[in-house]
């Protein structure tokens, strides 16, 4: 069966039926700020590799972003930027459905249904919820508490089996599996259990360049490299990355912040370049200044085409609108089928 879409006479994409033999993949990114290397290597990098061989649904999690009450006038620009940055990173909207979460009303419907199977106690124990409570004690809203339920609805609405995400989302995936199992045991087998997916097995965590926690859209922005950063900003941020005076014994264990620099180098530099610096580390003559200079240049070369393409796309509102509309159409077709099946099993089936 054919998949993807073709251009119709009026210039709109015409979606063809998804290939039923392909496994279903779902993942999302919140529209809360600029995308960074953590988003890229933790998630988008895998999306790009998966879009050919899987039936992919990638979305902008704009409802999730409402937990922190963004200014309404910023929302559209933020959503458009995430779409543009995804495409500039290699997502092909003709292969994968790329849509806004709020364009698929079946998601909040499933969220409501799953909320009946989610317990306050388990939601309060989620580490990301506890962090939010600690950081913003005056904004502990119910949306924050039920964040993992909405995430489960995002995934289960397409009955996905694979979810490419970074390490920070593993616990949320475990909850999505629990909700799927609970639904199935109450109403009958319906949802497959979704699993975290990465090509190279380990889920990635990109640390902040100052060695303090993970790279994030909102914290330590001077130690986060954004896909929109210009060349000089990238160089400056990398040259300021945390290092130390180097190992004093051969084959020492690497501190996490040095491992992080090697991980980034592994992602953007030639293998022989990374090998040279790794041997220098193991032999105790590494010069971190040289390593950072090399990494900065390789990172500039890596980010530049993404930044330029995303900026160009963002100027083309008509194109972004078309992509979102077509992505929503494809996502809704799949979501409507799931909701119909779930309603029937629950007994919401009156006519």
Residues annotated catalytic, as ranges: 132, 214, 217
Q: Which stretch binds ligand TYM (CB under 6 A): 50-58, 147-155, 242-250, 266-274?
A: 147-155
> With binding defined as CB under 6 A, does residue 338 bind ligand TYM?
no
CB of 342 to ligand TYM, least distance (A): 17
Closer of 23 and 293 to ligand TYM (Cβ): 23
Residue 159 sits in the site that holds ligand TYM (CB under 6 A): no
Q: Does 29 bind ligand TYM (CB under 6 A)?
A: yes
Q: For strand 97-100 and strand 55-61, is the pairing parallel, antiparallel, or unpaired?
A: parallel
**Interacting residues of 347 by C-beta distance below 8 A, sequence separation 6+:** none
- How does DSSP classify residue 254? P
Interface mask (CB under 6 A) for ligand TYM, residues 210-229, using x and -? ----xx--------------
Identify residues 45-64 at the interface with ligand TYM (CB under 6 A): 61, 64
d(CA 58, CA 99) in angstroms, rounded, equals 7
The 3-state secondary structure of 262-285 reads HHHHHHHCCHHHHHHHHHHHHCCC
The candidate with the shortest Cα–Cα distance to 160, out of 133, 191, 139, 188, is 191
| Binder of ligand TYM out of 30, 95, 162, 330 (CB under 6 A) | 30
In terms of CB distance, is 210 or 282 closer to ligand TYM? 210
Kindly state whether residue 149 participates in binding ligand TYM, applying the rule CB under 6 A.
no
**Distance of closest approach, residue 351 Cβ to ligand TYM, in angstroms:** 32
The CB-of-287 to ligand TYM minimum distance in angstroms stands at 27
Does position 166 interact with ligand TYM (CB under 6 A)? The reply is yes
Candidates 168, 229, 298, 329: give the one binding ligand TYM (CB under 6 A). Answer: 168
State the minimum distance, in angstroms, from the CB of residue 314 to ligand TYM. 18
* d(C-alpha 319, C-alpha 94), whole Å: 13
Q: By CB under 6 A, tell whether 205 contacts ligand TYM.
A: yes
Q: Quickly list H helices, the chain.
A: 37-39, 45-50, 62-65, 72-88, 106-115, 120-124, 127-135, 142-145, 147-156, 170-187, 231-239, 256-268, 271-282, 288-315, 317-346
Check: CB of residue 97 under 8 Å from CB of residue 58: yes
Residue from 5, 24, 26, 234 binding ligand TYM (CB under 6 A): 26
How many Å apart are CA 136 and CA 141, to the nearest integer? 10
- Of residues 264, 169, 266, 260, the one with CA closest to residue 210: 260
Give me the residue label for tokens 């909700």: 179
Q: Is 103 in the site for ligand TYM (CB under 6 A)?
A: no
Q: How far is the CB of 322 from ligand TYM (least distance, A)?
A: 24
- Residue 82 as a binder of ligand TYM (CB under 6 A): the answer is no
Cα–Cα distance, 101 to 107 (Å, whole number): 7
Residue 28 in the binding site for ligand TYM (CB under 6 A): yes
Can you tell me the distance from the alpha carbon of 164 to that of 201, in angstroms, rounded to the nearest whole number?
11
Of positions 4, 18, 42, 327, contacts ligand TYM by CB under 6 A: 42
Q: Return the C-alpha torsion angle 73, 74, 76, 77, nearest 10.
A: 130
Closest separation between CB of residue 262 and ligand TYM, Å? 15
Q: Which two three-digit tokens encode residue 82?
A: 């995430």
What number of chain residues touch ligand TYM (CB under 6 A)?
Answer: 24
Residue 214 DSSP code: B
| Residue from the set 50, 104, 144, 165 that interacts with ligand TYM by CB under 6 A | 165
Binding-site ranges for ligand TYM (CB under 6 A): 26-30, 38-39, 42-43, 61, 64, 151, 154-155, 163, 165-166, 168-169, 204-206, 214-215
């Amino acid at each position: 069966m054919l998949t993807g879409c073709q251009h119709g006479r009026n210039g709109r994409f015409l979606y063809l039926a998804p290939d039923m033999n392909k496994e279903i993949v779902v993942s999302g990114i919140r529209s809360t700020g600029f995308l960074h290397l953590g988003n890229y290597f933790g998630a988008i990098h895998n999306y790009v590799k998966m879009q050919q061989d899987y039936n992919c649904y990638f979305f902008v999690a704009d409802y999730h972003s409402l937990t922190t009450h963004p200014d309404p006038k910023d929302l559209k620009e933020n959503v458009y930027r995430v779409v543009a940055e995804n495409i500039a990173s290699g997502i092909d909207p003709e292969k994968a459905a790329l849509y806004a979460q709020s364009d698929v009303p079946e998601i909040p419907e499933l969220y409501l249904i799953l909320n009946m199977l989610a317990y306050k106690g388990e939601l309060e124990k989620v580490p990301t919820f506890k962090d939010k409570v600690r950081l913003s004690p005056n904004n502990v809203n119910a949306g924050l508490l039920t964040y993992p339920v909405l995430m489960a609805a995002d995934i289960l609405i397409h009955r996905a089996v694979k979810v490419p995400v970074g390490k920070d989302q593993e616990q949320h995936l475990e909850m999505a599996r629990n909700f799927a199992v609970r639904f199935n045991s109450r109403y009958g087998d319906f949802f497959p259990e979704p699993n975290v997916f990465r090509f190279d097995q380990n889920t990635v965590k990109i640390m902040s360049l100052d060695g303090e926690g993970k790279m994030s859209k909102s914290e330590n922005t001077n130690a986060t490299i954004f896909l929109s950063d210009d060349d000089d900003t990238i160089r400056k941020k990398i040259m300021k990355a945390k290092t130390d005076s180097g190992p004093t014994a051969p084959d020492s264990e690497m501190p996490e912040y040095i491992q992080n620099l090697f991980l980034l180098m592994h992602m953007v530099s030639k293998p022989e370049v990374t090998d040279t610096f790794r041997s220098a580390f193991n032999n105790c003559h590494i010069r971190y200044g040289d390593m950072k200079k090399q990494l900065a240049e390789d990172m500039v070369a890596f980010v530049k085409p993404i930044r330029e393409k995303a900026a160009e796309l963002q100027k083309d509102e008509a194109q972004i609108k078309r992509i979102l509309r077509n992505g929503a159409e494809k996502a809704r077709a799949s979501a409507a089928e799931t909701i119909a099946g779930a309603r029937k099993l629950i007994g919401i089936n009156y006519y």
